[in-house]
Structure 1
Amino acid sequence: MSLIVRVAARGDGITADGRHAASAAPGDTLTDTGEVIPGPHHQPPPCRHFPECGGCQLQHLDDDSYAAFVADRIATALAAQGIEADLRPTALSPPRTRRRATLHAEGGLIGFTEQASHRIVDMRECHVLHPALFVLVGPLRALVQRLRPKGRVELHLTLADQGVDLLVKATLPPGLAAAEAITAFAQAHALARLSIDEGYGPEARWEPQPVTVTLGGTPVALPSAAFLQATAEGEAALVAAVREATAGAATVADLFAGLGTFALALPAKVYAAEGARDAHLALKAASAQRPLFTEHRDLFRRPLTVAELDRFDAIVLDPPRAGAREQIAKIEAAKTPRLAYVSCNPSSFARDAKALCEGGWRLDWVQPVGQFRWSTHVELAARFSR
């Protein structure tokens, strides 16, 4: 028999001698026949759909071991690059706080897909979705069955200031009956907006008032299916870390600014660069009364130069999962004294951290964030200085 000592990146438990076991927690015992005997950190999964549903991979972990998993993902990625870091206690989002999600529907089924499969797990309960989103699952199942769209349907749900913003990606039947059913559904469930995308981009069919999301105390127009931090609690943890990392800076460059999650929360003059046109325009409109300059700029093709970066007291970097290799090369040589790096991928973050450290930067601390509750998806914010 062997003791499970840690959980791997994809959620399997691992023993000291390298054996893997599905749905095993640190402290569990793996027998010679492959049976997992639960230990002190193994909790009964709260959802009937676990482990079939791909929405969660780690419901069998208690909070202590799940928080340790998030931190270990980051520490392991950094260690692979030869870097040690001060990891702060993990900030975990509570259950039932996910405010955006993409569900799939087909043939009377609606839910997340099975892990590593296209099969839909029909959702009858969910312990990660915000109640305002989950309450729509049953009615959406009925609506899809009534409309009988061609093929599989993608349902993008986001909790906005005015309620739920729903984007339906599907080829719907033509005619007045389908249009009336969509409008009636939106009205009956008090949706903030209902948009349809039949392959030509989102078209709003119901939007009683402009849909916004409040960031840093400022309402920002919310484009359909726009990126938003998964939970309000996760956003707050990341914003707090970025504010701390840039404290005292009079001028800040916010790169990959999105809708302004960080730019609108900083008490400084901010330059915000964003490559997505809809997000850039939304932030530009929201920032009219603030010391904030926005630019529509593709930072992969045209990263800020060293001379441009040197104008700022601090930099905020929040790139996509692939990281920001092109922009990192410029930041390495810049004289800017502080950098707040927000990442959703420990591996690309560790790669960029190595380049920064080799360029003379120091990694001061890392704040792990687990806002995708019970999933293997990990977020972080870190401070570099020089």
Structure 2
Amino acid sequence: MRYRVLSPPHYEAHHLSDTSEIIRIAAKGDGVTADGKHVSGAVPGDVLRSDGSLDLGPHHVSPPCRHFGTCGGCQLQHADEVTLRQFVTDRVLNAAEGQEITPEEVLETHLSPPRSRRRATLHAMRIADGAVLGFRESGSHRIVDLAECHVIAPELFDTIAPIRDFVGKHGGKGAVDVELTLTDQGVDCGLKNLTVEGLEATEAALELAQRNGFARLTLDMGFGPEAMWEPEPVTITLGGVPVGFPSGSFLQATQDAEAVMIADTREWLQGASPIADLFSGLGTFAYSLADPAKLLAVEAARDAFLACKSAAGRSGKPVHALHRDLFRNPLQPDELNRFGAVLLDPPRAGAKDQIDRIAESTLERVVYVSCNPSSWARDAKRLVEAGFTLKKLRPVGQFRWSTHVELTSYFTR
């Protein structure tokens, strides 16, 4: 059962039978009372009254963005810093507890600051008097036309108005996906489901890129992304190494969270060599760990693998890139036994089969970075059953005001 906030904040006493205090925030962002009622828009310390209204408590703050409550990009702008940190922490610890796993040490939770997200996928649509561009409403295909945004980097937000204007003049009938990433050379903009035909539209697209200083403008008209504008090769610097950035490639959402994750892995894997970096992507961790350690970077996405391999050749760092689908063909125990440690950062589904092979190996050190506490906890239980101990665990909230939570973890046996 869901409730709505119907009253402004006030703190007069009510009879206990007529109120219920919010004690936690559920995984999807609702406040929850002690008797299990889910209350939309509530945080711990708020009080639910019998008529469905809320008395707002000391941890309930005014959302900074005018779009909050409509835009699906944020779920928790009404929670203060203490509550946000506790939510991220609880999501991770509750997942571990659900699998009866107790970490020896829980490190300080990291929260990314406002306006720090360096990548975002927005949506745009042409309408009668122009276009709308922004995140979708929660649970809807309706697009919220952004007049402000407190999560994405200012460099990304500054491109919204000109892209909106371009879509309003040259967009088709359907929605356009807008991928924005902040790279070494500036903003990489990818437009999907938008057909640019004719001289006028082509010149307008080039003017959009040139006037706004885009690092690259990529159009996907149904046959894959094609770069229309790229004055110099687009790169992202990882561990001091400029790595070619294929359009749409995965990148940690914020630089500050990436730095924390890298610092954890460097500390936990100190002295280990060689290291297997599984689901390595472009080399987010590989180039920070390599030298003195020798490193095998394993990735299934061909573009990311090729970019990582090319950067390794140019940098001279001891990184060997391997193209391999670890879901279909995980590294086997005899292969894993050649390494001093393993680092893995899998997609949201986790890495069940690869974890099984790690459990069967003689490995003694595993670092697991995860973007899904639930799949991580399932995999962590398998490691513990195989004799590993969860030495350190750090909750990470790089998607600020979102219910999306990540973590770093260190296992030994």
Instruction: Give TM-score, length-normalised by structure 1.
Output: 0.99
Question: Are 2:207 and 1:180 equivalent residues in the alignment?
Answer: no
> Equivalent of 1:286, from 308, 311, 327?
311
SS of equivalent to 1:242: helix
Give the equivalent residue in structure 1 for 2:12. none
Distance in 2 separating the partners of 1:173 and 1:159: 24
> Equivalent of 1:98, from 110, 117, 125?
117
Does the 8 Å contact 1:100/1:159 carry over to 2? yes
Does the 8 Å contact 1:150/1:172 carry over to 2? no
Render the CA deviation track for 1:174-205: whole Å, top value 9, x for unaligned: 21111100000100000000000011110000
Distance in 1 separating the partners of 2:147 and 2:106: 37
Give the equivalent residue in structure 2 for 1:334. 361
Distance in 2 separating the partners of 1:55 and 1:230: 14
- Counterparts of 1:138-157 in structure 2 under 5 Å? 138-157=161-180
Question: Are 2:192 and 1:169 equivalent residues in the alignment?
Answer: yes
SS of equivalent to 2:168: helix
Letter of the aligned partner of 1:18 in structure 2?
A: G
Question: Are 2:18 and 1:4 equivalent residues in the alignment?
Answer: no
Question: Are 2:410 and 1:383 equivalent residues in the alignment?
Answer: yes
Give the equivalent residue in structure 2 for 1:79. 97
Larger radius of gyration, structure 1 or 2?
2
The range that moved more, 154-163 or 241-250, is 241-250
> Equivalent of 1:33, from 51, 55, 63?
51
| TM superposition shift of 1:43 | 1.1
Give the equivalent residue in structure 2 for 1:310. 337
SS of equivalent to 2:310: helix
Instruction: Give TM-score, length-normalised by structure 2.
Output: 0.92
The range that moved more, 85-94 or 259-268, is 85-94
The range that moved more, 164-173 or 122-131, is 164-173
Give the equivalent residue in structure 1 for 2:351. 324
| TM superposition shift of 1:173 | 4.3
> Equivalent of 2:217, from 175, 178, 194?
194
Give the equivalent residue in structure 2 for 1:272. 297
Letter of the aligned partner of 2:298 in structure 1?
A: A
Does the 8 Å contact 1:172/1:178 carry over to 2? no
Does the 8 Å contact 1:3/1:28 carry over to 2? yes
The range that moved more, 32-41 or 183-192, is 32-41
Letter of the aligned partner of 2:299 in structure 1?
A: E
4+ residue runs over 4 A deviation: none
Letter of the aligned partner of 1:100 in structure 2?
A: R
Render the CA deviation track for 1:133-154: whole Å, top value 9, x for unaligned: 0011111111100113241100
SS of equivalent to 1:75: helix
Structure 1: unaligned runs, 5 residues or longer? none
Render the CA deviation track for 1:262-313: whole Å, top value 9, x for unaligned: 0011141101100000000000011121111110000011111101111111
> Equivalent of 2:248, from 209, 225, 229?
225
Distance in 2 separating the partners of 1:148 and 1:163: 24
Give the equivalent residue in structure 1 for 2:33. 15
| TM superposition shift of 1:84 | 2.1
Q: CA RMSD in A?
A: 0.9
> Equivalent of 2:76, from 53, 58, 76?
58
Distance in 2 separating the partners of 1:259 and 1:148: 32
Letter of the aligned partner of 1:285 in structure 2?
A: S
Letter of the aligned partner of 2:233 in structure 1?
A: P
Distance in 2 separating the partners of 1:220 and 1:174: 32
Q: Would the alpha carbon gap of residues 35 and 151 (structure 1) be closer, same or farther in structure 2, given more than 3 Å must change? A: same
Does the 8 Å contact 2:196/2:202 carry over to 1? no
SS of equivalent to 1:113: coil
Render the CA deviation track for 1:67-126: whole Å, top value 9, x for unaligned: 110111111111221222232221011000010000001121110000111110110000
Distance in 2 separating the partners of 1:114 and 1:373: 17
Letter of the aligned partner of 2:358 in structure 1?
A: I
Percent of pairs identical after alignment? 55
Structure 2: unaligned runs, 5 residues or longer? 1-18
Render the CA deviation track for 1:236-259: whole Å, top value 9, x for unaligned: 111111112211212110000000
| TM superposition shift of 1:209 | 0.2
SS of equivalent to 2:106: coil
Letter of the aligned partner of 1:218 in structure 2?
A: V
SS of equivalent to 1:115: coil
